[in-house]
Structure 1
Amino acid sequence: MGWDVIVVGAGVAGLTSAVVLAERGLRVGVWTGEPPVETTSAVAGALWWPYRVEPREAAGEWALRSLTVLAGLARRPEETGVRMVDGTHAGLALDGLAPWALRVPGLRAAGPEEIPAGYGTGVRARLPLVDMPAHLRHLQHRLGAAGGTVTFRTLSSLAQATAAAPVVVNCTGLGARDLVPDPLVHPVQGQLVVVENPGVREWFVEADGADEGRAEILHVFPQPYGLVLGGTARPHVWDRTPSPATAQSIIARCSRVHPAVGEARVLAHRVGLRPARSVVRLEAEGSVVHNYGHGGAGVTVAWGCAERAAELVEALAPRRSG
């Protein structure tokens, strides 16, 4: 096929990386064992916020770059799946946030009337909320418009890709555990419940669970297809079968913030495995550029990581002539 680079993986990290590379003039092929809409990325909520991702300083920069890109895409929500939505992070205080927060437009302390009962502090912001199936379709269409291709192919090793192109970008997420192999990669199970939206217009996140590393977290995300309720964050759990008891617990927690949720009709149950690592791996190793280990912050850092990966690729890949 004459590829300059093969991207392995078609989740949000893989497709975003492929789009950036193709739009910079490289001949890009994406190899994936499953369609983009069947990847873990498609299950995500998905609100922009640097959630449990390290290294903190670099991740903050990747996230801010992604925020700029996503805000631009939000001008065409029907096409891109990205909307700018107001919401509250309960349990956070401005002075407790990392330096990146100072550069988020409009991020401010929530007033007492803006915080549900039971929470002493909170912050308010208008942030990108992404309909992931729609966004993944947008990225795939954009890749095709730039001349990139998607091939369904299951790999047993990265060597199969390095034999087909001068440079490979490894965006295999949880698959990197076996393909690299990298034993530091592990799943963090997340279960969600999608219900009919009883009129909720804003997103809501209880920050305490995420900050303290609890297995149970609380978030409410209004999406075009329904209200997404969450959730769980269970490290090293591989099971992708929804638990009815967990679903009821999720609904009960979210009902404390929005009582109408308790009576809403359930539309779907979802379980995804976040591809976590102690730190994101974003570096070149021979002719392979690794870009994986984003955990639950994949969409949040996708564009920043993709642009950094592209810089590493351009140092290795020949330019197309003519």
Structure 2
Amino acid sequence: MTGVTVVGGGVIGLTSALALAEAGHRVTCVRDVPAAGTVSAVAGGLWFPYHVEPRERVVGWGTVTLERFRSLVDLPAAGVTFREGVMVERGPADRWWTEGVDRWREAASAELPPGAPSGVVCTVPLVTMPVHLAWLEERCRHVGVVLDEGRVEDVEQVEDDVVVVAAGLRSGALVGDDGPQPSRGQVALLANPGLERWLVDDDHPDGMVYAIPHPDWVVCGGTDVLGASDTEPDARVHAGILARVRSVVPELADAEVLGARVGLRPVAPSVRLAHSTVRGRRVVTNYGHGGAGVTLSWGCAEEVVRLVAEGHGP
């Protein structure tokens, strides 16, 4: 049994803590904000490796996560379903991400927004993040993870044998590198009028469009502004999101607006998942997941467990 402190309480931190505890380690998870206050809570929760590298590793991590989500669909408290939807393509088809997807097909023209030449129809996990994060916290407590509220400013503050840095945008400062950059994502929340199919049209000529339906609301987007760190919703951006999504998804034309949210994606040239020594401390880093924290969460958590056990990188 190794004493491990996980710094970070979003989906990456919580899955890392849970996987480590399930592997028999003594785990403390320290977070400066509760899970409901993290960028993970704003996420649409669709399994898709968005804005993340390197592809050759992402496929493996994503496939592991997809299979773990498959095992959770019969647990309503976990907030995981599998839903069919359309990934719209407006440029050359680049379908590297389908490697881990069981069933997919070409989208018919009637399934595509006007002007879109092609797309992929597939069934993938859809995770209702406030529900899933609460379930992760409960599972962590059940297997003995100590969930502490606090702010770690330096890995030297931590007394355990190993520190797992999974603090999103704050991670770089803890280990002395440039760390991830923020990419501002604003979404609109609409009451769900019965929409069941998701749609993503990242390259829509009027701006990014997506509609991700959950039982009571639809997460509609969106924006992806690298380097922007303002977390207050912008009314003009909000109006633009509503206009685009209602044009592309007519079922939402009269849906009640529930609000707007902003999250800052932690974007890096590649996910930093490695073992290192920082100021004499054993550290495993797990950050830089961009817009794919949910998608890679369990795969990366499994690798964290391996790195803690082996004491060296991939």
Q: TM-score, normalised by structure 2?
A: 0.93
What is the DSSP-based 3-state SS (H/G/I as helix, E as strand, rest coil) of the residue aligned with 1:263? Answer: coil
Offset of 1:63 from its aligned partner? 0.5
Aligned equivalent of 1:308, options 292, 303, 308: 303
2:155: which partner in 1? 158
* 1:46 partnered with 2:37: no
SS in 1 for 2:67: helix
What residue in structure 1 maps to residue 243 of structure 2? 252
Q: How does 1:236-251 map to 2 (within 5 A)?
A: 236-251=227-242
Check conservation: 1:192, 1:269, Cα contact below 8 A: yes
Q: How does 1:177-256 map to 2 (within 5 A)?
A: 177-208=172-203, 216-256=207-247
Count of residues paired in the alignment: 308
Unaligned runs of 5+ in 2: none
Aligned to 2:26: 27
Over aligned residues, Cα RMSD in angstroms? 1.9
TM-score after normalising by structure 1: 0.91
Summarize the Cα distance change of 1:56–1:237 in structure 2 as closer, same or farther, 3 Å threshold.
same
Structure 1 vs Structure 2: percent identity of aligned residues? 39
**Aligned partners of 2:188, 2:64: CA distance in 1, in Å?**
30
Of 226-235 and 116-125, more deviation after overlay is shown by 116-125
Could you say what secondary structure the match of 2:21 adopts? helix
Contact 2:173-2:179 at 8 Å conserved across structures: no
Match of 1:127 in 2: 124
Q: Which residue of 2 is the match for residue 137 of structure 1?
A: 134
The residue type paired with residue 249 of structure 1 is G
Q: Tell which deviates more after alignment, 231-240 or 118-127.
A: 118-127
Is the counterpart of residue 97 in structure 1 residue 95 in structure 2?
yes
Shift of 1:215: 10
Equivalent residue, structure 2, for 1:62: 61
Alpha-carbon distance in structure 2 between the residues aligned to 1:175 and 1:115: 39
Supply the distance in 1 between the matched residues of 2:31 and 2:178 (Cα, whole angstroms): 21
Q: Find the counterpart in structure 1 of residue 77 from structure 2.
A: 79
Distance 1:18 1:83 in 2: 23
Question: Contact (CA 8 Å) 1:92, 1:123: kept in 2 or not?
Answer: no
Distance in 1 between residues matched to 2:116 and 2:231, nearest whole Å: 32
| Paired position in structure 2 for 1:263 | 254
1:94 positional shift? 9.8
